[in-house]
Amino acid sequence: MKTSVRAQLTQGVNLTPQLLQSIRLLQLTAPQLELELRQALDRNPMLEPVDDDEAGEADAVDTATDAELEAAAWDELPDPVFLSGGGTGGADDDACARIAAGESTDWRVRLLQELSFEWGDGALRQAQWWLDHCDDHGLLEGDPGELAREGAAALTTTAAALEAARQRLLHGAWTGVAAASAAECLLAQLASHPADATRSLAERMVGEQIHALAAHDNAALAHALGADADAVAAATALVLSLRPSPVEPPAAEDDGHVIPDVSVRFLGGQWRVALNGRATPRIRIAAHCEQALAHAPGDQSVLRGLLDEARWLVRGIAMRNDTLLRTVQVLVERQRAFLERGEEAIAPLTLREVADAIGMHESTVSRITSGKYIQTPRGTFELKRLFAVRLEGAAVSGAAVKAMVKRLIDAEPGHAPLADDVIAGLLARRGVRIARRTVAKYRDQLSIPSARQRCKPALAA
């Protein structure tokens, strides 16, 4: 064996405590941020609350500061994978340990932290690509083949390697993550059960008769699969024991109302976005403490450390608010038609388009919009609602078409409801060409029964 020495130049991101804190603050919801700031006020004497009633709302123009611009380099962090500490610092350097204690509210970050113990840097980047394209339940928001091709170009790898990483996620610790559909998620969970006749029949039920399974039609299942009633009942019980999605929604903790993070109003001929300053307490550096420390004799390293920590926190909050305002401003500009005309006018909009508009990464936009609410003249709802997937082959979003379907059904005569193919024909006249099965899918998502079930007998004269 021959020993050799080789020099290699690599480029990486140095995760400072300030950078990590900024990332963590970015993804906090309003209640979580309020708790974070109250805890900071309790443990750091260099901070004090701002008790000024005139600043109930902070306008976007007044939020940008020199401190934000100076610390804006935190967005150079390209992927959430770095939150795991993988690929930076020494082997014993746990990046997340340098942030204040607390578990991330983003399930993607928690999963990447778990994967960092077994996956290499390249594999983690591939995993992060798939997780960034999953919805809140862990299912993919797009076709796996198309996403693999896009990811191969973005990560300088092959589509086959990305698909292998997806399969590894699919059958990993969080079984079903990155599944293309609920059926694939169920099949991945079934694969972890012992191989027997019941599992085999359950796999056939999920793969071939998912609609009959959803309708709990055991007779139809038994006839279609050529199995007896007892075998179908056992396989159905096995499927019902599985999780419908790989990521379970968090337990409800709200008290019945939502406090919006931002608000939008139409003033002076334009839509204006403002932070809801009453959602969280405002803090600042205590001026008297800072002045006293500047003239204090002797070693004051502990107090100076607290002062630096307070400055980082205030700066991180300013950065978070600025990023939130800029993101919402773009969302409002792109969805102006929705705010003015309603659900049918919502335009197709993706995370990438918003990220390009504000000059940041998609993962940053995902973090800043998750769990944040906006108050509009059309109600208060989550920012994620302003994103919409473009309907294939059309210039409108699926959400807009769904609203059109609902309006047509709401306006139909009770004794002559519109069939799905009729609704598809009416939409085609407006330039929106969709298949009958797409109308049926939207109708199911709206919990609207079929035309036959909606039919009401005409009143006798």
Which pLDDT tens digit goes with each residue over 213-255?
877 778 888 888 888 888 888 888 888 888 888 887 655 454 5
- Statement to judge: residues 363 and 413 lie in one domain: no
- In a domain, residue 404? The reply is yes
| Higher per-residue confidence, 318 vs 258 | 318
pLDDT at 66: 41
Does 8 reside within a domain? no
Residues 374, 423, single domain; the answer is no
The predicted structure's pLDDT at residue 458: 57
Do 348 and 402 belong to one domain? no
Q: Stretch 361-385: mean pLDDT, rounded? A: 87
Number of structural domains the chain divides into: 3
Between residues 108 and 76, the one the model is more confident about: 108
User: Is 130 a member of any domain?
Assistant: no
- Which comes out higher in pLDDT, residue 67 or 267? 267
Q: Does some domain include residue 165?
A: no
CATH number, domain of 429, equals 1.10.10.60
Domain limits at 436?
A: 398-454
The answer to whether position 350 is within a domain reads yes
Q: For 303-316, how does the pLDDT look when each residue is reduced to its tens digit (9 = 90+)?
A: 888 888 888 888 88
Residue at a domain's end among 389, 423, 441: 389
pLDDT attached to residue 104: 60
Spell out the SS3 assignment of the chain.
Answer: CCCCCCCCCCCCCCCCHHHHHHHHHHHCCHHHHHHHHHHHHHHCCCEEECCCHHHCEEEHHHCCCHHHHHCHHHHHCCCHHHHHCCCCCCCCCCHHHHCCCCCCCCHHHHHHHHHCCCCCHHHHHHHHHHHHCECCCCEECCCHHHHHHHHHHHHCCCHHHHHHHHHHHHCCCCCCCCECCHHHHHHHHHHCCCCCHHHHHHHHHHHHCHHHHHCCCHHHHHHHHCCCHHHHHHHHHHHHCCCCCCCCCCCCCCCCCCCCCEEEEEECCEEEEEEECCCCCCEEECHHHHHHHHCCCCCCHHHHHHHHHHHHHHHHHHHHHHHHHHHHHHHHHHCHHHHHHCHHHCCCECHHHHHHHHCCCHHHHHHHHCCCEEEECCEEEEHHHHCECECCCCCCEHHHHHHHHHHHHHCCCCCCCCCHHHHHHHHHHCCCCCCHHHHHHHHHHCCCCCHHHHCCCCCCC
Same domain, 265 and 383: yes
Residues 429 and 361 in one domain: no
